[in-house]
Amino acid sequence: MSAPNIETIVSLSKRRGFVFPASDIYGGLGSSWDYGPLGVELANNIKQSWWRWLVHERDDVEGLDSSIIQNRLVWKYSGHETTFSDPLVDCRTCKGRFREDKLRDVECPNEPGVCAGSGKECSLTEARQFNLMFRTTIGPVSSDDDPASLAYLRPETAQGIFINFKNVLDTSRRKLPFGIAQIGKSFRNEVTPGNFIFRTREFEQMEMEYFCRADDAARIHQEWIDDFWKWFESLGIKPENLKLYEQGPDELAHYAVRCVDILYKFFPEREEGQAQFDELMGIANRTDFDLKTHSKKPEDADGKRLNPDSTEDLSYFDPTTNERFYPYCIEPAAGVNRTVLAVLMDAYTEKTNDKGETRVILKLTPDLAPIKVAVLPLAKNKPEIVAMAKGLKKELLPSMRTVYDDTGGIGKLYARQDEIGTPFCVTVDHESLVDDAVTVRDRDTWEQERVKVAELKEYLLKRLYT
Ligand code: ATP
């Protein structure tokens, strides 16, 4: 089987209810997607895995959930109002509009394969900067041209963390090094959204700001790069589909001293090489820029970043050394949607059954699978079997997400569960009424085992989580 590409996943997602095109009954809305019943479970399981691993299992990270709409001054001092832009180019031939730095990734919407910077016909204008922040207005009497009511939807969750640094520090009584983690929606008016949920205008981020002393920053940065690589592997993402990318000096944001991206092979159908890979997450050493820029009149030698609007000094006092300084910050920033896509691509496999039919098996880790167990009656016209199967489902439900399905022959029911990644099917048959046992079928091997009903819950929990 060749590697599944994004199209394979789009078709599975629509067919089985992972992801649907947004506003579909009104003709859709370009590059917007809704998560269906299975997709929302998968995305939630990914977010929970991240939160558990980062906030609960470690002892140095606090959680936060800050507002999407903040005071406009946040975006003034973070630099987003002036610098959060992409270079926009227009093509005079096809009238297409593209992001100059991503030309290799796009196809001309009007004449595929002709323009988009790749063909002879292409005639691109000079690039101009296009600010990606979505604008909105606040209050019932606001008008679009009233600067006092102008606000933005956040383009990243990070700034909500920086402006709460002192609140978290004071209330948690943390000492350096420590982190603040946040998961939430971000919005960017992308010039060229596309490739399913890879690049959308509304998306979800899992970000952490890890504050430390400047001397420790380089070492801690490297540790987070290594740790996040391992976290992606724990989600079932294959290491051969991941790659590290060290940003060059001309690519680095002006405040960063080092940034390493973890790339995933989102585009296996492209010509072998770098173009097959694109960003899954970025891990940056942002220096002390952010805490300084949001601080009331920070003492900067160049004097350019004085902030007369902030009411707080976000510096840190170390009582053991009697020093006051602005901590450095390491930022691992991952996208929920891109992680969902990478997980689905690596879980997708095909297998041929005895009848020569191709079956899709979604080999999600048990932790991520939207449904853990399906209870299936072998004969739906036998009330005792149906009652026993429904009773088992009820018993298992509080410990693991379980569904009951009797809407087809057993082969069809198994195939349906394989395709959505359910690790185990439990079948109740005629024999079950006599021996009080059921058949447990493994999604990946299709092997079946007879298990006593009294031991079923423990058996499944052990196989799911150890
Ligand atoms: P790109 O270069 O692909 O535009 P970026 O470097 O601007 O991404 P960051 O600002 O580092 O992205 O955001 C962190 C993460 O958020 C990215 O690694 C990605 O997973 C996710 N992300 C960013 N923009 C989008 C988007 N438009 N749609 C979906 N996910 C996104």
Q: For 375-385, how does the pLDDT look when each residue is reduced to its tens digit (9 = 90+)?
A: 999 999 999 99
* Ligand 1 center from residue 144 Cα (angstroms): 28
* Ligand 1 center from residue 334 Cα (angstroms): 7
Ligand 1: nearest atom to the Cα of 198: 29
Query: Which tokens go with 237?
Result: 């993402």
Contact 283, 295 (CB under 8 A): no
Mean pLDDT of all residues belonging to the chain? 92
Beta-strand runs (E) in 165-304: 178-187, 202-212, 242-246, 258-264, 278-285
Q: Is the pLDDT of residue 169 over 70?
A: yes
Ligand 1: nearest atom to the Cα of 205: 16
* 162 vs 70: CA distance, rounded Å: 12
Ligand 1: nearest atom to the Cα of 188: 27
The crossing angle, in degrees rounded to 10, of helices 383-396 and 456-465 is: 50
- What kind of fold does domain 371-465 have according to CATH? Rossmann fold (3.40.50)
Cα 438 versus chain centre, distance? 37
User: How far from 133 is each of 98, 184, 442, CA to CA, in Å?
Assistant: 17, 16, 47
Element spanning 202, H or E: strand 202-212
**pLDDT of 71-113, one tens digit each?**
999 999 999 999 898 888 887 777 777 788 776 555 554 444 4
* Ligand 1 center from residue 335 Cα (angstroms): 6
* 96 vs 167: CA distance, rounded Å: 47
Residue with CA closest to ligand 1 atom 16:
335
Residue with CA closest to ligand 1 atom 20:
335
Query: Which tokens go with 216?
Result: 């420790």
Beta partners for residue 178, in sequence order: 211
State residue 94's pLDDT score: 72
Q: What is the number of other CB atoms lying within 10 angstroms of the CB of residue 441?
A: 22
Q: Parallel, antiparallel, or unpaired: how do β-strands 202-212 and 278-285 relate?
A: unpaired
| pTM for this predicted structure | 0.93
In the chain, where the domains are located: 6-77+155-344, 371-465
* 437 vs 448: CA distance, rounded Å: 12
Q: Provide residues with CB under 6 Å of ligand 1.
A: 156, 188, 190, 199-200, 203, 205, 279-282, 333-335, 337-338
State residue 96's pLDDT score: 75
Give the mean model confidence (pLDDT) for residues 355-374: 96
* Ligand 1 center from residue 128 Cα (angstroms): 21
* Ligand 1 center from residue 428 Cα (angstroms): 47
What's phi and psi for 344, nearest 5 deg? -65, -40
Please report which confidence band the pLDDT of residue 297 belongs to, taking 50, 70 and 90 as the band edges.
confident
Please report which confidence band the pLDDT of residue 299 belongs to, taking 50, 70 and 90 as the band edges.
low
* Ligand 1 center from residue 461 Cα (angstroms): 36
Element spanning 37, H or E: helix 37-51
Contact 428, 437 (CB under 8 A): no
Residue with CA closest to ligand 1 atom 1:
279
Contact 88, 127 (CB under 8 A): yes
Q: Is the pLDDT of residue 202 over 90?
A: yes
User: How far from 238 is each of 265, 270, 282, CA to CA, in Å?
Assistant: 10, 19, 18
State residue 132's pLDDT score: 92
Ligand 1: nearest atom to the Cα of 284: 11
User: How far from 101 is each of 124, 155, 176, 372, CA to CA, in Å?
Assistant: 13, 19, 38, 42
* 64 vs 45: CA distance, rounded Å: 18
Q: Best mutation site among 205, 251, 258, 277 for ligand 1, i.e. most ligand atoms within 8 A of its Cβ?
A: 205
Would you call 146 helix, strand, or coil by DSSP? coil
State residue 337's pLDDT score: 98
Does 357 or 112 have the greater pLDDT score?
A: 357
* Ligand 1 center from residue 126 Cα (angstroms): 25
**pLDDT of 300-352, one tens digit each?**
666 566 788 999 999 999 999 999 999 999 999 999 999 999 999 999 999 99
* Ligand 1 center from residue 174 Cα (angstroms): 30
Residue spans of alpha helices (H) in 331-382? 336-347
State residue 88's pLDDT score: 87
Question: Which CATH superfamily, name and number, covers 6-77+155-344?
Answer: Bira Bifunctional Protein; Domain 2 (3.30.930.10)
Give the mean model confidence (pLDDT) for residues 9-14: 95
Residue with CA closest to ligand 1 atom 8:
279
**pLDDT of 423-455, one tens digit each?**
999 999 999 999 999 999 999 999 999 999 999
Please report which confidence band the pLDDT of residue 39 belongs to, taking 50, 70 and 90 as the band edges.
very high
State residue 271's pLDDT score: 87
Ligand 1: nearest atom to the Cα of 333: 14
Query: Which tokens go with 140?
Result: 């019932």
